[in-house]
Structure formats: structure tokens, C-alpha cells
Amino acid sequence: MTRSSLTILVVEDHPTIACQVVEFLDGLNWQADHAATGALAIELATREVYDVVLLDLNLPDLDGLEVCRAIKQRAPRNVPVLMLTARDAFEDKARGFNEGADDYLTKPFDLRELALRCEVLARRGQLHVRQEMQLGPLTLLQREKRTLYKDAPVALTHIGFKILLAMASAYPNAVSRSALLHALWGANPPDSDALKSHIYALRKQLEQAGAANMIVTIPQLGYRLALPDV
């Protein structure tokens, strides 16, 4: 996994620290979103697809452990959570790991170490992605990049498969347009009409395989799969 492929959610209410972290990640050509509250962090982590969540324990509205638990339960996939905190007691760390944290970094920290830990967590997360995904009549074979519908092969383009995989990974939630754009083209997406064209082509390919109306448009958000048999 290359650095340019990582998407990070930075959950930090201290403006100076948040700015430093986001600017550093931007300098690595990573995509960094910022949430200053636990409520916004949960909303973003539920709606978007991230490689790693950097989570401060001391937030103004919710306890960081509560936020971690909610993200682990509601995110579209099991996103790694790296906790950032000044609490360095063993009991604090133990509570964090018990709530689902994947790693722990004590403030103050070296931004270079932060980046290394993000890369390790992201790689670990990719290793746990299922190589075969089964959703009712739909099967995605990730290693071979093949799609089956009712056990019959579906001819998809490379980008069509990536779009379908992103929506299947998020199912039953929707995937935002911004998340799809980043999954397909990283930090340098083409114009917005390109995604629409690929969605249109994917719908046609699925329709030819007997899977009409599988992709539903969610106004002002993105797309989700409609799989009534699941």
C-alpha cells in the first residue's frame, strides 16, 4: 500500500494539534478529514470509508472510548483506530484496547512515527479484508477481481469492479461520491461526470447479467446496493 492511497480521519478538538496533523498528512499526499467532536467523528466514520481513524480520547462532547466503540460498531468496515492521548497509565491503555482500539500513541508524539503507525494499521486492515464477499446472489472474488451473480460470471470493467466492491464493503450503508472518487482515483480525481459515466456503465453490465436496479442513488450523498434477498 502506498502512502498516497491512505484516507485518514483525524478526531482532535485542539485546533493547533489538529492543524499540525492534517497539514503533515496532506504533505504526504494523504487525504485527511477532520472532526473536532465525537458526534461528527461518528457521523463521518459511518458515512465515509477510512483506512485509519486517529482518535483523541479527550473530546468536548463524548468520551473517546465511547466514540471508538460506536465507530467499531457502525463503520462500513472494521476500520483501525489509533488512539492519541496524554493518558499514559496502563489502565487507560487497557480500557482503550478493550473498547476496540488497534494502537495507542501518547502525546506528544513524532509525526513521522504517527505516519508509520498509520501505514502498519492500514496494511493490517487490508490483510483482514475478506478475499471472497458473498451478499445474497452477489459474489465478489477480490483476488481474481471477478464478479458472480447467481453463480454466473458478470463481465465488469476494472473500475466497475472497484465501484461494486466499495458499495459491497459498505453494505447496507451508502457510499458517498467523495469516497468513491478517492477509492478510484486517489487525490487526483477527474471531473464529476467520469464517476457518473462509470456508474451508468456498471448498471448496464449488471442489468445484462439479470441484476437490474441493484444500484440505488441516494440524493446528495452517493450510492448503495439494493439486495432484497440478503
Q: Are the CB atoms for 209 and 154 separated by under 8 Å?
A: yes
- Average pLDDT for 204-223: 91
Q: Are the CB atoms for 145 and 158 separated by under 8 Å?
A: yes
Q: Would you call the peptide bond into 108 cis, given omega within 30 degrees of 0 as the criterion? A: yes
- What pLDDT digit, counting tens, does each position of 171-204 carry? 888 888 888 887 787 667 777 688 999 999 999 9
Taking the whole predicted model, whether its pTM rises above 0.85 is answered as: no
The three cell numbers of residue 145 are 477481481
Higher pLDDT, 142 or 128: 142
Q: With bands split at pLDDT 50, 70 and 90, how would you rate the model's confidence at 35? A: very high
In whole angstroms, what is the distance from residue 44 CA to residue 9 CA? Answer: 8
Q: List, in order of start, the domains of the chain with CATH numbers.
A: 3-127 (3.40.50.2300), 132-225 (1.10.10.10)
Query: Residue 188: CA atoms inside 13 Å, Cβ hemisphere, count?
Result: 2
Residues 6+ apart with CB under 8 A from 150: 137, 210
SS3 213: coil
Q: With bands split at pLDDT 50, 70 and 90, how would you rate the model's confidence at 27? A: very high
CA distances from 32 to 35, 113, 218 (A): 10, 17, 24
The three cell numbers of residue 212 are 437490474
pLDDT exceeds cutoff 90 at 164: yes
> What residue spans of 75-191 are helical by DSSP H?
90-98, 111-127, 158-170, 177-185
Q: What is the dihedral of CA 115, 86, 78, 129, to 10 degrees?
A: 30
Q: Helices (H), strands (E): how many in the chain?
A: 8, 12
pLDDT exceeds cutoff 70 at 2: no
- What pLDDT digit, counting tens, does each position of 80-129 carry? 999 998 877 778 778 888 878 889 998 889 999 999 999 989 887 665 55
